[in-house]
Amino acid sequence: MNRILEVKDLHASVDGVAILKGVDLIINPGEIHAIMGPNGSGKSTLSNVLMGHPSYKVESGDILFKGESILDWTTDERARKGMFLSFQYPTALPGITIPNFFRTVLKSIRGEDIPMREFKKELKDGMKELEMPEEFLKRYVNDGFSGGEKKRTEILQMSLIKPALAILDETDSGLDIDALRIVSQGITNAKSPDRSILLITHYQRMLNYVVPDFIHVFAKGRIIKTGDKDLALELEKSGYDGILEKAGLNV
Ligand SMILES: Nc1ncnc2c1ncn2[C@@H]1O[C@H](COP(=O)(O)OP(=O)(O)OP(=O)(O)O)[C@@H](O)[C@H]1O
Ligand SMILES: [Mg+2]
């Protein structure tokens, strides 16, 4: 069995409030899964719980990464073993330049220093792909970045880290039309047999560029429906209410 991620009947809470209420999800190597769902349904909570954010408490159920239960692993361990989360709201790191930050991150994840020349080449290639001007090499991470620039920086980080599982939380929000295409291309380029992607999005349009193998509808703390890319079109038409009603959950 070579599953990348298996989430089993996961229940989790924050500050004593139950948010995840029985999430089941299986992701195999190389697959792209999209999660769509109403605001406040628990999508970001799921990403945070998968990454082991300390504010969230797993009440029951399990998370297996490459077949191993990771509930006891710290966020750091999860990252080193190949999990990556791109945040819905990336934070600024004033005083820390992009090259310095990324080199430190890569060193901690790979467990060894990368020769400067090699690192610079990887970084510049990644920036070129995402059409980020070289002046960003001098900028502090996310400091004063526009929404779209922050999202590109997240994807740049993913392309350098090359995680086995990338969780991208609303990487498309706030992107202009060109940036959406560029960032989507960056995500599509990251697709490989040894990389799986979990993409949280509100918009069907991103899925025109990044074609998911599965789309899950997330509502009321769990996945209520799974389908292929056409499910996004159905959602556009019927809205979440229609789907919830069919699932008998519109109470
Ligand atoms: N510390 C907290 N205390 C109480 N409730 C919280 C806390 N953090 C999150 N929640 C609640 O958990 C619910 C799920 O939030 P979450 O951010 O996971 O939603 P989401 O599906 O990502 O929404 P969006 O589409 O708006 O990003 C929300 O109702 C939120 O208010
Ligand atoms: Mg969210």
Contact of 197 with 145, CB cutoff 8 Å: no
Atom 27 in ligand 1: residue holding the nearest Cα: 39
Span 117-135, pLDDT tens digits: 999 999 999 999 999 999 9
Cα 53 to ligand 2 centre (Å): 14
Q: Which CATH class is domain 5-91+164-246?
A: alpha beta
Residue 58 has pLDDT above 90, yes or no: yes
Cα 46 to ligand 1 centre (Å): 10
Measuring CA to CA, how many Å separate 234 from each of 8, 141, 180, 223?
27, 38, 22, 16
Q: What's the confidence (pLDDT) of residue 1?
A: 59
Residue 250 has pLDDT above 80, yes or no: no
Q: Which structure tokens are listed for 28? A: 């195999």
CA 30 to mean position of chain CA atoms: 14
Q: What's the confidence (pLDDT) of residue 247?
A: 78
Give the span between the Cα atoms of 38 and 24, in whole angstroms. 18
Side chain identity at residue 162, one-letter code: K
Q: What's the confidence (pLDDT) of residue 203?
A: 84
- The environment of the single-atom ion ligand 2, i.e. residues with CB closer than 5 A, is 43-44, 88
The mean pLDDT value for 79-108 works out to 92
The mean pLDDT value for 31-49 works out to 96
Q: Percentage of the chain surpassing pLDDT 90?
A: 71
In the chain, what are the domain boundaries? Answer: 5-91+164-246
Q: What's the confidence (pLDDT) of residue 155?
A: 92
Span 225-236, pLDDT tens digits: 999 988 988 888
- What residues are paired with 249 via a beta bridge? none
Give, for ligand 1, the residue of 15, 19, 57 to mutate: max count of ligand atoms closer than 8 Å to Cβ.
Answer: 19
Please state the atom number of ligand 1 nearest to the C-alpha of residue 38.
25
**Mean pLDDT of the chain, nearest integer:** 92
